[in-house]
A = this chain, B = another copy of it.
Amino acid sequence: MTENPSENPAQNLITAAILVIGDEILSGRTKDKNIGYIADYCANIAIDLKEVRIVPDEEDEIINALNALRARYTYVFTTGGIGPTHDDITAESVAKAFGVSIDEDPRAIALMLERHKPEDLNAARRRMARIPAGADLILNPISKAPGFRIGNVMVMAGVPMVMQAMLDNVGPTLETGVKMLSATIEAGGLPEGIYGTPLGEIAARHPSLSIGSYPSFKDGKFANQIVVRGRDNAAVQAGLAEVREMLQKLTPDSYTT
């Protein structure tokens, strides 16, 4: 059971960050449901989510965080702050971050007219049609007011159902990486403290793998899972086999894979 690091396709790593924008998340009033969803979505299309930030509805905070993230990762997904009220300043802030103008976009107005009568497109609603110059629209089948993509940044709604619909629309346009393979081994009642040292030795022997141990606490007991992740199937299988062997040695009588 050997591993040939030269066979690990380390090229074609596509990375991403999420920027959650909203006072309501930081105040605790709203519990974020988008981070976990986008994390799963990225994992499924082989994009490595590397960082998340949550910032308030403050222009400087949005600009600084967005510029830090978009310089560093292949893609940035933002959620929140693109509604019709005064505290929705994401689009304006993104335009400033990119140094481009922002104006009412006829394409966005046309989409919104699919839902609203012309006389109902008041000043507040027209705010939602303000799109930075050069951006592509991201369709919103639920409430029509679109998100947009500018450069490597996808600007999406904060309401989970709308965000998910936007992600479904923009997702297929993204470049994806080599899929990260993941295998989970139940360590059962075996405490982390028992297998921590040998597991670390296995991880050190397999630098191409990401091996994690994740405790959870349920019904008064810790129940641990070991996850082996990597892009090369042979390497993942090799690591898995060593973890299984290690666990079996530690609990020869009770442990089964």
Taking Cβ atoms with an 8 Å cutoff, the residues of A that contact B are 20, 23-32, 35-36, 39-43, 48-57, 61, 83-87, 116, 120, 122-125, 127-128, 142-143, 159-162, 180, 182, 192-197, 199-200, 203-204, 210-217, 222, 227, 229
The 6 closest A-B pairs by CB, nearest first: A124-B196, A86-B200, A28-B39, A125-B193, A52-B54, A28-B40
Q: With the chains together, A51 CA to B120 CA distance in Å?
A: 37
List B contacts of A39 (CB < 8 A): 25-28
* CB–CB B52/A52 < 8 A: yes
A85, A194, A216: most-surrounded residue (chain B CB, <10 A): A85
* CB–CB B217/A161 < 8 A: yes
Chain A interface main SS type = mixed
Copies of this protein chain in the complex: 2
A42 nearest in chain B by CB position? B28
List B contacts of A86 (CB < 8 A): 196, 199-200, 203-204, 211
A54, A56, A123, A213: most-surrounded residue (chain B CB, <10 A): A54
Q: A54-B35, A193-B120 are contacts. A159–B217 as well, Cβ < 8 Å?
A: yes
What are 25 A-B contacts with C-beta separation under 8 Å? A25-B52, A27-B182, A27-B229, A28-B43, A29-B182, A31-B36, A32-B35, A51-B53, A51-B55, A53-B53, A83-B196, A83-B215, A84-B192, A86-B203, A87-B213, A122-B197, A123-B196, A123-B197, A124-B192, A124-B197, A125-B193, A128-B193, A142-B217, A159-B215, A159-B217
A147 → chain B, closest Cβ, in Å? 15
Contact of A193 among B26, B116, B160, B214 (CB under 8 A): B116
Interface contacts beyond A35-B54, A51-B54, A53-B54: sample of 11 additional A-B pairs, CB < 8 Å, sorted by A: A25-B35, A26-B49, A26-B51, A27-B182, A51-B55, A51-B56, A83-B192, A85-B195, A86-B199, A124-B200, A159-B216
Q: With the chains together, A125 CA to B191 CA distance in Å?
A: 10
A56 → chain B, closest Cβ, in Å? 6
A212 → chain B, closest Cβ, in Å? 5
List B contacts of A120 (CB < 8 A): 193
Contact of A203 among B87, B162, B222 (CB under 8 A): B87
A223 → chain B, closest Cβ, in Å? 11
